[in-house]
């Protein structure tokens, strides 16, 4: 029994005590190569456990055998003792165990007898049999794993005939040349697919899902090619192709992507495989397919006959040889290989010169003067010399190559106490450890994604290869430091991470190519047009000059599908959550060295929806606060540029030097706007491209005097009354008293409301403070620099600066911090315009004439000078203005000008504004030639400015008085409370599509601000007033309401036909409304399954209500953007500095009169076009033509589109003489 007990123990310890000479059978190693690493599979682990158990049994049997021999020696009397040799277990490779137990010198065999020996023999045979079965099973599974891990090269074709042909060719001896197979495949290529076959299922939901799968798969294949994982891309393509149900998902661009990859490597066998799959899928090769085949031939230096056959077949397919060099945007090396192949077949072939867009000119009548070569203009230059501009280019290039900018915070610096120094040291140690752990976790994640890809599924593996683990880790740690204490939604964080990775990847690709050197060479030539000290005399716009310097840029990087961005960002965010931990003692004094997570994933309700939030541990936020690190990190594209931006030349080329920027900003995942722009003739976009370039070429500088005053307030608890947010320490505190156990439900409810109010206030204050911190820190960072703000536009054509945190589109404070870097002498009237501008900023004389405003400025000159000299210690007159900071900046400029020896010669950098008078209604009145409406919004000359808001308030008062006389209670309550301020916001936004519900909320807010208004009547009074405001507008602007109704009804009927509303602006910008039914996109797995709505693409059904309500305001916005762009281009032609904030135009004080003249002339020219009839004609052609024209809904739509509202008798020429049109 002791032996048995020892045997059980030996079996238990058998793995640890395994003999050194005996091999241990581990799971089969992967055949993936260096990057894949060694991993044990789960199935192999089970086999390994069986093996260990059997090894333990073998040792037990050896022990029992020895015990049997000992017993035999004690009981058998006549046994010739010879040398005894134990029979060991067979080695791993043996197939038959030895049947001899003991061998003597004379060859006699001693048989084991008795019950023990018989049992031992049976157990040994059973065990040896199990061992053989186990070895066979291990070998079989290892072979299966090896087959799975092997990347597939040869395709599995669905056509039996084609598969048989491929097999015969592969195994024939001798094999026919691959060039014969390629020629045959090209000759037998199917015809082009029909539109329905090419675009997949007709069902909208199926087509949407279909397109999503196609986008993700194509992006995966392209990314694999980029990171030199072409065999993996080929493997996934072969796997997808072999699935008959997936056949419709694969598109020609997917096959072409892999074709080009093999062509660049000169691998013709694999290229032929792809052509086999294309034929099997029923796809005809296109120009890019032929280019790939010819490239490969050029790299392999093939004979001319093969190339000639390829070119001949290409001609039979209706494709021209010249198109290979004009229609395709290939890299330089690809073009060289292509040309080498063509010269083999046609030695005299000369490739056509690349298309130069500037050779064609926009023919729009609105832009005739801009592009008129018979009347050239001399455009203004930058105020800096060539050498300085070249140095600024180098600085900006360094910033964008680094992809991030470190900016010192303007928060008050703490004293370097022991506590602060210890916190910084702890933080530094934690970051060093986190970076190492994140790199390790990222390597494991990459290996896991690689295994998924080797199974034939598109995964995140190629995207994780775009940057190094160190770069990913630094990006994640930057994201961690930027999180607020309230946390951020996982979806938003994932999207931001995905976009940042894409941007870094694009920059890195440009750095690895020769694009940077080519860009520098071209940009230095471009600076000859802009520099102040060059003698270049060229009468052309910056875009035209840039295009004339060389061929178009290299092909741009296609953006990744939105689900890919989110999935990649989500994966990295989860790595951050699971990896970054800190010691417990940082969270509590009595804590241990146990590690706790720094980030927590929690759920919260926002807008009645439950969302997942990543929230930092309070102890980590406390550590950051104590360390008080004063450095913030911004993306390079979030900071103004240090040199003039690149001119916009196409929908994807312009603005920043390296960072990718969209011409038309839109929701992520929306591709319809980009498709419209790329399908638009290039000349149609010239007006918009040149206007955006002109806006971006305006040089800026920081107003240091204003910045110093703002920083003083900001670091001293802020001043909310002046728009300087207070710190979190000033947020209202929730009540700390505990409620008694018997507190009433009303008291508990009141406390909950108070707590919610305090939390809401704290969140709002934090948001405002952070926004101000970013703006002021960037202003301080750029304090002694000249900088530029590149612009792009939204889907309606409205322009915006690309840097989001520091620009002139912000609040009063943001605008006051900026002034023109290039100054202009005030001239004879500049000082007067500065004074008028100051009075406009105060809001005190809105209904007075310009002369009265000028006189008022002279009256208060003492207050103006006091404000400039003692802004914080004097009479503080500037603080009472509507726009106090801009008013203060203007006071300082006026003080410097009046104290100058010659005010007319004073060089002013201050921008003066001219605002449209309810600009939306101005466009409506001009469209309808509505005389009454035109007079109300200052389209008609008058001695005093007309105030439409006061006019509407007066009309509402007339209606109220009539109702009060009839005994309507709410009308009687409202007596004395109807003012311009109450109705202004609603009147202003009616033209932009506000509904009665939205208007009621606006009026309710204004009524609640009136302390003496009986609050119990607010709801009833707001309902009454919004109805009367709409009635007043209907009576005052009858033409406007008719046009609004026609636009809205047309949009509703178009949406009912299943299409989104489209139109083209007068400047040629194609517009489509991005309002569709929400489609849910699910990204499952991980710490949370993300579901987000995608409502911006044409594959989804249009949202009828949003299409209807959005069309009138969006159409008017497209008109005001056209007016602004026309004004910008003509001001630029006249040598003015011009920028805008939508319908507010800025220029130097000396040039206000010229800008006013241009503004009025271009408004008249714009509305002299038959805008509504052109719109009607376009919509009829777009939505009512073709085979669908007999449909009942189409007939109704056609009737509506043809019933263009009649116009009035207003004479547009009067606008040119209206002083208060823009003032």
Enumerate the active-site residues.
Answer: 915, 984, 1143
For residue 145, what are its two tokens?
């794993």
Taking Cα atoms as reference points, which of 22, 93, 28, 97 lies closest to residue 55?
22
- Asked, as a colleague might, if the bond just before 174 is cis with ω within 30 of 0, I would say yes
Classify 1092 as helix, strand or coil: strand
Q: Which residues contact 772 (CB under 8 A, 6 or more apart)?
A: 714, 724, 725, 813
For residue 969, what are its two tokens?
């209670």
Q: How far apart are CA 262 and CA 157, in angstroms?
A: 19
Taking Cα atoms as reference points, which of 840, 797, 857, 837 lies closest to residue 1063?
797
Q: What is the DSSP letter of 900?
A: S
Contact 616, 480 (CB under 8 A): yes
Classify 608 as helix, strand or coil: coil
- Rounded to the nearest 5 degrees, what angle is found at the Cα of 1189, between the Cα atoms of 1188 and 1192? 90
Q: What is the DSSP letter of 880?
A: G
* Farthest-apart Cα atoms in the chain, separation: 143
Q: How far apart are CA 1183 and CA 1172, in angstroms?
A: 16
Which helix (DSSP H) or strand (DSSP E) does residue 911 occupy?
A: strand 911-915
Output the DSSP codes for 67-125.
HHHHHHHHH-S----------PPPPTT-SS----S-B-TT--B----HHHHHHHHHHHH
For residue 574, what are its two tokens?
């989860």
Q: How far apart are CA 772 and CA 39, in angstroms?
A: 51
Q: Which residues contact 461 (CB under 8 A, 6 or more apart)?
A: 229, 232, 446, 449, 450, 452, 453
Q: How far apart are CA 1003 and CA 767, in angstroms?
A: 26
Rounded to 10°, the helix 1171-1183/1038-1056 angle is: 10
In the block, which residue shows the tokens 């315009």? 833
Classify 714 as helix, strand or coil: helix
How many residues comprise the chain? 1223
Contact 877, 865 (CB under 8 A): no
* Residue 912 bridge partners (DSSP): 1147
HSE-up of residue 30 (Cα within 13 Å, Cβ side): 18
Q: In this structure, is the dihedral angle defined by the CA atoms of residues 1131, 1133, 1136 and 1141, taken in order, positive or negative?
A: positive
Q: How far is CA 125 from CA 118, 305, 575, 688, in A?
A: 11, 70, 52, 88
* Residue 1081 bridge partners (DSSP): 1092
Q: How far apart are CA 1052 and CA 504, in angstroms?
A: 43
Task: Count CB-CB contacts under 10 A for residue 73.
Answer: 11
* Residue 915 bridge partners (DSSP): 1144
Q: How far is CA 970 from CA 964, 975, 997, 1019, 1088, in A?
A: 8, 9, 18, 10, 52
For residue 473, what are its two tokens?
């880790």
Contact 596, 617 (CB under 8 A): yes
Classify 292 as helix, strand or coil: helix
For residue 459, what are its two tokens?
């995964």
Contact 1030, 996 (CB under 8 A): yes
């Amino acid at each position: 029994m002791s032996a048995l007990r020892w045997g059980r123990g030996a079996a238990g310890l058998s793995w640890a005590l395994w003999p050194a000479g005996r091999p241990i059978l581990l799971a089969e190693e992967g055949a993936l190569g260096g990057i894949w690493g060694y991993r044990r599979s789960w199935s192999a682990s089970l086999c390994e456990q069986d093996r260990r158990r059997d090894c333990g049994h073998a040792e037990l049997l050896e022990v029992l055998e020895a015990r049997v021999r000992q017993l035999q020696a004690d009981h058998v009397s006549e046994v010739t003792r010879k040398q005894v040799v134990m029979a060991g277990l067979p080695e791993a490779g043996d197939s038959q165990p030895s049947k001899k137990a003991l061998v003597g010198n004379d060859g006699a065999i001693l048989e084991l007898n008795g019950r023990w020996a018989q049992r031992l023999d049976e157990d040994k045979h059973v065990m040896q049999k199990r061992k053989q079965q186990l070895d066979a099973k291990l070998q079989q599974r290892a072979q299966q794993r090896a087959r799975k891990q092997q990347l597939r090269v040869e395709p599995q074709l669905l056509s039996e005939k084609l598969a048989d042909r491929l097999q015969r060719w592969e195994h024939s001896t001798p094999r026919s040349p691959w060039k014969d197979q390629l020629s045959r495949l090209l000759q037998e290529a199917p015809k082009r697919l029909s539109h329905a076959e090419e675009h997949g299922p007709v069902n909208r939901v199926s087509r949407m899902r279909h397109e999503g799968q196609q986008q993700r798969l194509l992006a995966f294949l392209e990314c694999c090619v980029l990171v030199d994982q072409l065999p993996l891309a080929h493997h996934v393509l072969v796997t997808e192709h072999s699935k008959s149900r997936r056949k419709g998902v694969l598109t020609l661009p997917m096959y072409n992507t892999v074709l080009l990859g093999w062509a660049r490597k000169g691998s013709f066998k694999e290229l032929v495989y792809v052509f086999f799959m294309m034929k099997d899928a029923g796809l005809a090769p296109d120009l890019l397919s032929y280019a790939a085949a010819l490239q490969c031939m050029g790299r392999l230096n093939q004979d001319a006959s093969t190339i000639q056959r390829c070119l001949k077949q290409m001609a039979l397919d209706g494709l021209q040889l010249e198109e290979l060099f004009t229609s395709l945007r290939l890299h330089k090396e690809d073009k060289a290989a292509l040309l080498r192949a063509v010269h083999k077949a046609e030695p005299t072939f000369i490739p056509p010169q690349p298309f130069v867009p500037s050779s064609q000119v926009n023919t729009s009548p609105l832009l005739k003067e801009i592009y008129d070569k018979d009347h050239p203009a001399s455009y203004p230059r930058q105020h800096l010399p060539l050498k300085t501009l070249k140095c600024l280019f180098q600085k900006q290039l360094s910033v964008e190559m680094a992809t991030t900018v470190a900016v010192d915070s303007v928060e008050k610096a703490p004293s370097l106490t022991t506590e602060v120094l210890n916190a910084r040291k702890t933080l530094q140690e934690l970051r060093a450890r986190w970076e190492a752990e994140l790199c390790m976790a990222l390597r494991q994640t990459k290996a896991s994604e690689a295994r998924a890809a080797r199974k034939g599924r598109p995964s995140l593996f190629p995207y994780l290869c775009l940057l190094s683990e160190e770069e990913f880790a630094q990006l994640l740690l930057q994201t961690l430091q930027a999180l607020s204490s309230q946390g951020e939604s996982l979806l938003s964080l994932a999207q931001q991470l995905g976009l940042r990775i894409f941007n870094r990847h694009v920059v890195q690709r440009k750095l690895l190519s020769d694009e940077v050197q080519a860009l520098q060479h071209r940009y230095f030539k471009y600076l000859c047009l802009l520099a102040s000290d060059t003698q270049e005399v060229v009468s052309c716009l910056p875009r035209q000059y840039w295009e004339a310097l060389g061929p178009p840029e290299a092909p741009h990087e296609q953006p990744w599908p939105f689900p890919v961005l989110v999935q990649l960002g989500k994966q990295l965010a989860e790595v951050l959550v699971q990896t970054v931990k800190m010691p417990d003692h940082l969270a509590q004094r009595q804590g241990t060295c146990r590690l706790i997570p720094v980030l927590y994933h929690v759920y919260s309700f926002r807008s009645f929806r439950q969302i997942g939030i990543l929230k930092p541990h309070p102890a980590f936020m406390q550590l950051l606060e104590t360390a008080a690190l004063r450095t913030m990190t911004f993306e390079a594209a979030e900071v103004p540029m240090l040199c003039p931006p690149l001119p916009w030349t196409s929908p994807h080329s312009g603005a920043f030097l390296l960072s990718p920027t969209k011409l038309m900003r839109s929701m992520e995942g929306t591709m319809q706007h980009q498709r419209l722009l790329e399908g638009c003739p290039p000349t149609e976009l010239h007006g918009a491209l040149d206007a955006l370039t002109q806006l971006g070429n305006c040089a800026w500088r920081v107003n240091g005097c204003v910045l110093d005053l703002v920083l003083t307030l900001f670091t001293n608890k802020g001043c909310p009354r002046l728009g300087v947010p207070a710190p979190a320490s000033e947020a209202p505190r929730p009540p700390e008293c505990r409620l008694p156990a018997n507190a009433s439900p009303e008291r508990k409810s009141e406390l909950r409301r108070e707590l919610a109010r305090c939390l809401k206030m704290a969140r709002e204050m934090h948001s405002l403070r952070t926004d101000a911190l970013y703006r002021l820190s960037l202003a301080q960072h750029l304090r002694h620099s000249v900088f530029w703000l590149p612009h792009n536009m939204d889907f309606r054509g409205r322009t915006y600066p690309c840097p989001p945190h520091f620009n002139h589109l912000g609040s009063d404070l943001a605008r006051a911090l900026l002034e023109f870097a290039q100054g202009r002498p005030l001239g004879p009237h500049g000082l007067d315009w500065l004074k008028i501008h100051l009075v406009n900023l105060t809001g005190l004389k809105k209904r007075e004439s310009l002369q009265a405003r000028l006189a008022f400025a002279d009256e208060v000159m003492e207050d103006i000078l006091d404000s400039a000299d003692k802004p914080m210690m004097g009479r503080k007159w500037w603080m009472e203005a509507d726009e106090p900071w801009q008013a203060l900046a203007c006071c300082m400029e006026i003080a410097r000008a009046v104290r100058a020896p010659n005010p007319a010669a004073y060089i002013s950098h201050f921008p003066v504004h001219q605002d449209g008078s309810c600009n939306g209604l101005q466009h409506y009145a001009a469209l309808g030639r509505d005389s009454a409406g035109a007079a109300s919004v200052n389209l008609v000359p008058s001695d005093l400015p007309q105030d439409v808001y006061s006019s509407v308030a007066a009309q509402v008062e007339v209606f109220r008085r009539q109702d009060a006389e009839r005994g309507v209670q709410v009308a009687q309550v409202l007596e004395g409370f109807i003012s311009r301020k109450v109705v202004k916001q609603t009147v202003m936004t009616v033209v932009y599509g506000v509904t009665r519900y939205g208007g009621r909320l606006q009026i309710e807010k204004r009524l609640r601000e009136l302390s003496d208004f009986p609050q119990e009547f607010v709801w009833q009074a707001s309902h009454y007033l919004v109805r009367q405001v709409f009635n007043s507008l209907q009576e005052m602007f009858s033409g406007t309401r008719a046009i609004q109704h026609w636009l809205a009804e047309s949009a509703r009927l178009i949406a009912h036909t299943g299409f989104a509303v489209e139109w083209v602006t007068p400047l040629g910008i194609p517009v489509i409304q991005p309002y569709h039914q929400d489609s849910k996109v699910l990204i499952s797995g991980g710490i949370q399954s993300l579901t987000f709505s995608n409502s911006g693409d044409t594959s989804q059904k249009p949202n009828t209500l949003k299409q209807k309500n959005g069309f009138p305001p969006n159409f008017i916005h497209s008109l005001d953007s056209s007016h602004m762009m026309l004004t910008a281009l003509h001001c630029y032609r006249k040598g003015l500095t011009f920028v805008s904030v939508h319908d507010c135009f800025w220029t130097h004080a000396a040039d206000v009169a010229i800008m006013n003249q241009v503004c009025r002339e271009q408004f008249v020219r714009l509305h002299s076009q038959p805008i509504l009839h052109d719109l009607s004609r376009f919509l009829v052609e777009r939505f009512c033509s073709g085979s669908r024209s007999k449909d009942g809904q189409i007939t109704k739509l056609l009737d509506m589109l043809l019933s263009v509202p009649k116009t009035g008798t207003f004479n547009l020429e009067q606008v040119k003489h209206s002083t208060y049109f823009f003032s």
